[in-house]
Amino acid sequence: MSSGYRSERPPRQDDGTLIEGRNAVLELLRAGRTIDKIFLAEGGRGGDIASAAKKQGVPVVTCDRRKLDHMSPTGSHQGVIAQVAAQDYVALEDILLVAEQRGEPPLLVVCDGIEDPHNLGAIIRSAEAAGAHGIVIPKRRAVGLTAAVARAAAGALAHMGVHKANNLAAVLDELKERGIWLFGAEADGDAPLFEADFDRPCALVIGSEGEGLSRLTREKCDYIVSIPMRGRVNSLNASNAAAVMLFEAVRRRTHAK
């Protein structure tokens, strides 16, 4: 016999990074606010929003309305939710300026398709602790600066500039033109970790959780670095690999002084 009780999803906590409703999202687009992604319900009235988003280069994801129901803090999304950044992105020049002001060779972390917010947050936290000058993430097929990323970074995001690249390959080319060496991380790398010249201007390139470095990114790297493994497991997750490489760079740069 039914008790008459109907379980309902508790309201999601509103962290300020999800903006709901047609008018609210259109106003965001008109104001030029930094938007990581817009979610539109399949079959909904979102043509004008999709068109405006395309003009501004904002990724649009079409999905089942039930996904929006689950995401929505209020349940009144009207078939559209925009995900805004928890912190504004910075220009690549701003990151390099930090290194110049500190009188240090640039040390960046480039994330090639990190999709787990906890991994990106952990990378930001490790980068800040290691004294890196900034992070580069791609615009598409990767997590942006969501509230979950900010929480995982445990305060480090306030001190670490993140650049969002419209075209990651072009940014890698620009870094190389500026004399910054690219060190990709892969298990089959031919450059042992402890022999890598991290005391020079460098960017540590970390691949996605499932696929690792993309083919194009790998081809652009100057070195593919392997981390020595002594146990039965032959790889680390993305954030752990980034931390190992970052603090080897710290060790190398400290001894080089």
Look at residue 15 in the predicted model and tell me its pLDDT.
Answer: 57
Residue 3 has pLDDT above 70, yes or no: no
CATH number listed for the domain at residues 92-256: 3.40.1280.10
Q: pLDDT grade, residue 5 (50/70/90)?
A: very low
Q: pLDDT grade, residue 10 (50/70/90)?
A: very low
Give residue 229's identity as a one-letter amino acid code: M
Residue ranges of E strands in the chain: 18-20, 35-41, 60-63, 80-84, 107-112, 134-138, 162-165, 181-185, 191-192, 202-207, 223-226
Look at residue 16 in the predicted model and tell me its pLDDT.
Answer: 63
What mean pLDDT comes out for the span 50-65? 89
CATH of 18-84, picked from 3.40.50.300, 3.40.50.1110, 3.30.1330.30, 2.60.40.1180, is: 3.30.1330.30
Residue 47 has pLDDT above 90, yes or no: no
CATH 3.30.1330.30 in the chain, residue ranges: 18-84
Q: Which of 151, 140, 17, 5 is nearest to 88 (CA)?
A: 17
- Which residues are 191's β-sheet partners? 225
Under 8 Å CB-to-CB from 172, ≥6 apart: which residues? 110, 182, 203, 205, 217, 220
Phi, psi angles (nearest 5°) of residue 222? -75, -35
Look at residue 146 in the predicted model and tell me its pLDDT.
Answer: 87
pLDDT in tens, 149-192: 998 999 999 999 999 999 999 999 999 999 999 999 998 888 99
Largest CA distance in the chain: 76
What mean pLDDT comes out for the span 58-69? 90
CATH 3.40.1280.10 in the chain, residue ranges: 92-256
Under 8 Å CB-to-CB from 148, ≥6 apart: which residues? 117, 118, 121
Residue 51 has pLDDT above 80, yes or no: yes
Q: pLDDT grade, residue 211 (50/70/90)?
A: confident
Look at residue 11 in the predicted model and tell me its pLDDT.
Answer: 46
Distance, CA of 181 to CA of 32 (rounded, Å): 34
Summary mean pLDDT of the chain: 89
Distance, CA of 41 to CA of 101 (rounded, Å): 47
Distance, CA of 119 to CA of 143 (rounded, Å): 10
- Using the 8-state DSSP alphabet, how is residue 150 labeled? H
What mean pLDDT comes out for the span 217-243? 91
